[in-house]
Amino acid sequence: MSGRPAASRRTVLRGAAAAPAVGMGLTACSPGAGAVPATPTAPVDLGAESEVAKGGADLNLDHNVVVSRSADGSLKAFSTICTHGGCPVNELEGSTLICPCHGSKFDAATGEVLHRPATVPLSELPVRVENGRVVVGPRT
Ligand code: FES
Q: Give per-residue pLDDT as tens, 99-135.
A: 999 999 999 999 999 999 999 999 999 999 999 999 9
Residue 36 placed within a domain: yes
We report the CATH number of the domain holding residue 87 as 2.102.10.10
Does the CB atom of residue 118 touch ligand 1 within 6 A? yes
Residue 16 placed within a domain: no
CA angle, 85 then 120 then 19, to 5°: 40
Q: Give per-residue pLDDT as tens, 22-40.
A: 334 444 444 444 455 667 8
Does the CB atom of residue 87 touch ligand 1 within 6 A? yes
What b/e readout covers 101-112, taking b as 16+ CB neighbours within 10 angstroms? beebbbbbbbbe
Which residue in 87, 80, 69, 106 sits closest to 32, CA to CA? 87
Does the CB atom of residue 38 touch ligand 1 within 6 A? no
pTM: 0.76
- Tell me which residue range forms the domain holding 116: 31-136
Does the CB atom of residue 126 touch ligand 1 within 6 A? no
Give me the number of domains the chain comprises.
1
Q: Which atom of ligand 1 is nearest to the CA of 100?
A: 2
Which residue in 43, 10, 50 sits closest to 125, CA to CA? 43
Residue 20 placed within a domain: no
Residue 84 placed within a domain: yes
Residue 3 placed within a domain: no
